[in-house]
Amino acid sequence: MAKKPAAHATKPRPWTEMATHLVDVAMGRKPADLVIRNGRWVNVHSGEIIAGTDIAIAGGRFAYCGPNASHAIGQGTKVVDAGGRYLVPGLCDAHMHVESGMVTVTEFCRAVIPHGTTSMFIDPHEIANVLGLPGVRLMHDEAVAMPVNVHVQMPSCVPSAPGLEHAGAELTVADVAEAMSWENIIGLGEVMNFPGVVANDPVMSGEIAATVHAGKTVGGHYASRDLGLPFHGYVAGGPEDDHEGTRAEDAIARVRQGMKAMLRLGSAWYDVASQIKAVTEGGIDPRNFILCTDDSHSGTLVHEGHMDRVVRHAISQGLKPVTAIQMATINTAQHFRLEREIGSIAPGRLGDLLIVSDLAAMTIDEVYARGVRLAKGGKLDIDIPAYDYPKTAKNTVKLGKKLKAGDFDIAAPKGANEVRVRVIGVIENQAPTRALEADLPVEDGLVAMDRRNDICQIALVERHRGTGGVTNAFVSGFGYMGDCAMASSVAHDAHHIICVGTNKQDMALAVNRLGEVGGGVVLFSKGKELALVEMPIAGLMSDERAEIVAAKADKLTEAMRKMGCSLNNAYMQHSLLALVVIPELRISDVGLIDVTTFQKVDLFV
**b/e per residue 354-392 (b: at least 16 CB within 10 A):** bbbeebeebbbbbbbbbbbebbeeeebbbebeebebeee
Q: Which pLDDT tens digit goes with each residue over 345-379? A: 999 999 999 999 999 999 999 999 999 999 999 99
Task: Judge whether residue 9 has pLDDT over 60.
Answer: no
Please report, in angstroms and rounded to a whole number, the separation of the first and last CA atoms in the chain: 66
Task: Judge whether residue 2 has pLDDT over 80.
Answer: no
Strand extents, DSSP E, 526-561: 528-534
Q: Measure the CA–CA gap between 106 and 85, rounded to whole angstroms.
A: 30
Question: What does each C-alpha distance from 435 to 192, 460, 475 come to in angstroms?
Answer: 20, 18, 10
Contact 220, 259 (CB under 8 A): yes
Task: Judge whether residue 198 has pLDDT over 90.
Answer: yes
As a whole number, the mean pLDDT across the chain is 96
Q: Measure the CA–CA gap between 334 and 343, rounded to whole angstroms.
A: 8
The alpha-carbon radius of gyration of the chain (Å, integer) is 25
Share of the chain above pLDDT 70, in %: 98
Task: Judge whether residue 79 has pLDDT over 90.
Answer: yes
Helices (H), 456-531: 504-517
Classify strands 61-66 and 48-58 as parallel, antiparallel or unpaired.
antiparallel
Q: Measure the CA–CA gap between 504 and 475, rounded to whole angstroms.
A: 14
Which of 347, 372, 366 lies closest to 82, judged by CA?
366
Q: Measure the CA–CA gap between 167 and 155, rounded to whole angstroms.
A: 13
| Segment 41-67 mean pLDDT | 98
Q: Which pLDDT tens digit goes with each residue over 130-182? A: 999 999 999 999 999 999 999 999 999 999 999 999 999 999 999 999 999 99
Instruction: Count other C-beta atoms under 10 Å from residue 557's C-beta.
Output: 20
Task: Judge whether residue 7 has pLDDT over 70.
Answer: no
Which of 314, 306, 305 lies closest to 271, judged by CA?
314
Instruction: Count other C-beta atoms under 10 Å from residue 527's C-beta.
Output: 10
Task: Judge whether residue 39 has pLDDT over 70.
Answer: yes
| Segment 446-471 mean pLDDT | 97
Which of 497, 461, 468, 462 lies closest to 401, judged by CA?
468
Q: Which pLDDT tens digit goes with each residue over 317-331? A: 999 999 999 999 999
Task: Judge whether residue 8 has pLDDT over 50.
Answer: no
Q: Which one-letter amino acid corresponds to residue 281?
A: E
Contact 208, 218 (CB under 8 A): yes
Q: What is the pLDDT of residue 11?
A: 75
State pTM to two decimals.
Answer: 0.94
Q: Which pLDDT tens digit goes with each residue over 560-584? A: 999 999 998 899 899 999 999 999 9
Q: What is the pLDDT of residue 10?
A: 59
Residues 6+ apart with CB under 8 A from 588: 164, 165, 460, 471, 494, 496, 578, 580
Share of the chain above pLDDT 90, in %: 94
Q: Which pLDDT tens digit goes with each residue over 238-288? A: 999 999 999 999 999 999 999 999 999 998 889 999 999 999 999 999 999
For 289-343, give the DSSP string. EEEE-B---HHHHHHT-SHHHHHHHHHHTT--HHHHHHHTTHHHHHHTT-TTTSS
| Segment 426-446 mean pLDDT | 95
